[in-house]
Amino acid sequence: MPSRQSAVRSPFSHPSSHPSSLPPTRCAAAVALALALSVPAQAQQAAAVAGEADGGGPIETVQVTGNWLGSGLQNSVKNFAGARTVVQKQDIEDSGAASIGDFMRRIPGVQSTDNSGTAGSAISLNIGVRGLTGRYSPRSTVLLDGVPLAVAPYGQPQLSFAPVSLNNIESIDVVRGGGAVRYGPQNVGGIINFGTRAIPDAPGLEGDASVRYNHFGEGGGHNVQYGAFVGAAMDNGFGVAVLYSGMDGSEWRAGSDERVNDLAVKMRYALGAGAQVYGKLSYYDARSLTPGGLTVAQYAADPFQNTRPTDYWRGDRQGLDLGYLNTIDADREAEVKVYYNESSRESGLVNAARTQVTYQPRNYTVLGVEPRYTQRLRLAGSVHDVTVGYRYLRERGDDNSFTRNVATGATGAVSTFDNRTDAHAAYVDDRIALGAWRITPGLRFEHIASERAARGGTQAFKSDNDKPLPALNVAYLLTPALTLFANYGTSFGPVQNLQLNSQSATNPLNPEVARTFELGARYKAAGMTAEATAYKLRFDNQIIQVPGLTPATFRNIGATDHEGIETALDYRFARDGALAGLAVYANYNYTRALQESGATSGLDVPFYARHTGSLGARYVKGALSLNLSGTAQSAQYADAANTVAESADGGNGRIPGFNLWNAQAGWKFDGTPRLELVAGLNNLADRRYYTRNVDGNAGRMVGAPRTAYLQLRALFR
């Protein structure tokens, strides 16, 4: 049962091309007020909360080992001054999701868009937050164990190659607001951290292994997913873990063969007196055949066919993370993190006439250094956790492109661009506890120097940016169960490597700046968790890709305005009641994201549904578990003009909404090892739905049909 999970609703009406009459901020305020009134805000409770720990309420300790947000931000999700959702491994397994994108649909404010040439494959990650483009997830800071996941976090934050797999993930932490000071630059779409499986804390050996078979009811595809984990902690303070996740087979489209290997070795060593060193060595590789989009006629004949059998994507990554953490005493903590990774990715895409294949091999290296220090101070009845930190990121890489004639096999000249970025970010924040208030002002300053030059000296681009980014988070602990919060944050996005090529006298590209405001409430007590958040996001000079053009072309579409509400409810029935063992969750999300300049002013931002929701229930009795869940989203548009009529090539036009239902049953067998058998059906009704691909291989992209799966897991303790 998801803790702080998204959920609700059935199919929704199509979006209007005009501003909705629904006032989202008023609705959210009403929901927040209802939450506040649902629990007596007794003065005695508030006084009791405010009376602890130097008049500052219950203060969390500075020690935050394993907390990617670092000191100065409370560990407690309940008291966090922003919209935040955390899910654990059990929640992910209970969902029946076969991929990260599939599961992310359940988190409030997040949509999995899949409007890219790698839609449906494991090689990319396509998630958008609060009306921001989801193609390759460029608007969010996406981390793996606190380390940027993108091959070039500043120069190419797009996750066209996303070296992360679901089986190795222990937690997903989505901070949609309130974390802007610590991580950037692209945090307007929030901060998403995937936490890999942890080294055991207790001495001894533990592990598990799993295998899952997926069979797609249409298209003839099937695949097998593997997972293995073994970890040990020793009495001398040393701990180690080995993680492996793999997949082999195909997806639901014809000619969609895929292979993934994800391996990591983690270590931790306690040095004594609160200090430790930790590290991770990782390797990831993936190859995927990508069928691409279909015309309307092709889709009508067979939505699962592959008209582009030569298209593929592949990539690999090797990485090393090292860190030193020292909780010096109850009031001080220091940490230094260093990471280095090398990535390469390559694609081969045939043109619409099927006469020429374009190959794009690219290589990247990233070096990061992050020192941080936190000091707790007690001043005039308040408690301050002051954190100062610095982040240096060095990116180097090369983008290559060449073509091959399908008929003759002749290859053209190789075009190469060399990219380099040196980025410095310094930040300071102060989490102030005063009575029941938690107030955190902060400031991050970014200095970014980027260069892109064509090998041979024909073209060169340079971009330098300096930007101060203030933020303010405020939380009020109204009762031990109810937290009210508000925050303001700024995000800055420099012009990226590939975007620089689109600059011209008629198409100047300016950096992106966004400002986000949130107001919300969170309640957690007696088996219930509830949350409501209203937000407003102003995006200046947003850069988007022009659909259907090869090579990729980008332009500023000016300001966009995003506002909406996110609501979530999670309830577990009492263990001694008639419905013992039953848990339910639901959410509903409304997003109105509008363009504010040019000929398309007042129209929806493309590829984002105004209404989304999920609904689910889990029942456990003894060794038996049953799960039923559904997700839904309303219609969306594929272009800035909000074109309704569909083009013959399937690359443009309104995209209908859809809803999906999944069911799962599991049984746990006693013994050593302990076995768990899970069987499920995703897309129970075999609902046919699609999105559109805006790349050079544009067209309709069919979603997964009814999918049956069987999983066996063995646990060793």
pLDDT digits (tens, 9 = 90+) for 319-355: 999 999 998 888 999 999 999 999 999 999 988 888 9
Q: Is the pLDDT of residue 54 over 50?
A: no
More confident residue, 14 or 324: 324
- How much is the pLDDT for 37? 36
Q: Is the pLDDT of residue 673 over 90?
A: no
Start-to-end Cα distance in the chain? 23
Residue closest to 654 by CA, chosen among 663, 643, 662: 643
Q: Is the pLDDT of residue 507 over 80?
A: no
- How much is the pLDDT for 59? 56
687 band by pLDDT with thresholds 50, 70 and 90: very high
477 band by pLDDT with thresholds 50, 70 and 90: very high
7 band by pLDDT with thresholds 50, 70 and 90: very low
Average pLDDT over residues 62-83: 58
- How much is the pLDDT for 74? 40
364 band by pLDDT with thresholds 50, 70 and 90: very high
Distance (Å, whole) CA 282 – CA 291: 29
- How much is the pLDDT for 548? 64
Using alpha carbons, list the distances in angstroms from residue 312 to 207, 345, 443. 35, 11, 43
The answer regarding whether domain 24-716 maps to CATH 3.40.50.300 reads no
More confident residue, 171 or 32: 171
Q: Is the pLDDT of residue 123 over 90?
A: no
Q: 74-78, 464-468, 631-635: which has the highest mean pLDDT? A: 631-635
* Class of residue 180 by CB neighbours under 10 A (exposed 0-12, middle 13-18, buried 19+): buried
Average pLDDT over residues 70-83: 66
Q: Is the pLDDT of residue 510 over 90?
A: no
Average pLDDT over residues 673-694: 94
Average pLDDT, the chain: 86
SS3 content of the chain, % helix, strand, coil (to 5): 5, 55, 40
Average pLDDT over residues 568-595: 94
Q: Is the pLDDT of residue 409 over 80?
A: yes
229 band by pLDDT with thresholds 50, 70 and 90: very high
Average pLDDT over residues 538-554: 74
Average pLDDT over residues 704-714: 96
Contact 147, 581 (CB under 8 A): no
The owner of tokens 């509008």 is 594
Contact 396, 420 (CB under 8 A): yes
Q: Is the pLDDT of residue 206 over 70?
A: yes
3-state SS of 8-65 is CCCCCCCCCCCCCCCCHHHHHHHHHHHHHHCCCCCHHHHHHHHCCCCCCCCCCCCCCC
Contact 126, 119 (CB under 8 A): yes
Contact 241, 198 (CB under 8 A): yes
- How much is the pLDDT for 9? 30
- How much is the pLDDT for 22? 36
- How much is the pLDDT for 40? 38
Q: Is the pLDDT of residue 258 over 80?
A: yes
Using alpha carbons, list the distances in angstroms from residue 41 to 78, 423, 525. 16, 47, 13
Contact 667, 650 (CB under 8 A): no
Q: 64-78, 412-426, 461-475: which has the highest mean pLDDT? A: 412-426
45 band by pLDDT with thresholds 50, 70 and 90: very low
Average pLDDT over residues 283-311: 94
287 band by pLDDT with thresholds 50, 70 and 90: very high
Q: Is 300 helix (H, G, I), strand (E, B) or coil?
A: helix
Q: Is the pLDDT of residue 13 over 50?
A: no
pTM, two decimals, is: 0.88
Distance (Å, whole) CA 527 – CA 519: 24
More confident residue, 272 or 303: 303
* Listed range (558-562, 636-640, 648-652) with the worst mean pLDDT: 558-562
647 band by pLDDT with thresholds 50, 70 and 90: very high
- How much is the pLDDT for 509? 77
- How much is the pLDDT for 60? 60
Q: Is the pLDDT of residue 230 over 80?
A: yes
Average pLDDT over residues 146-156: 92
Contact 334, 323 (CB under 8 A): no
The owner of tokens 């090539």 is 649
Contact 155, 216 (CB under 8 A): no
Per residue in 592-606, pLDDT tens? 999 887 788 999 999
Q: What tokens were used for 79?
A: 């008291």
Average pLDDT over residues 220-241: 94
Contact 604, 578 (CB under 8 A): no
- How much is the pLDDT for 68? 47
Q: What tokens were used for 222?
A: 């099937």
Strand-pair category, 674-682 with 658-669:
antiparallel
Q: Is 167 helix (H, G, I), strand (E, B) or coil?
A: helix
More confident residue, 230 or 182: 230
- How much is the pLDDT for 560? 87
More confident residue, 460 or 168: 168
Strand-pair category, 141-144 with 191-196:
parallel
- How much is the pLDDT for 160? 87
Q: What type of residue sits at position 17?
A: S
Q: Which residues neighbour 265 within 8 Å (Cβ) at sequence distance 6 or greater?
A: 240, 241, 242, 243, 280, 281, 282
What percent of the chain is modeled with pLDDT above 90?
62
- How much is the pLDDT for 69? 53
Q: Is the pLDDT of residue 300 over 90?
A: yes
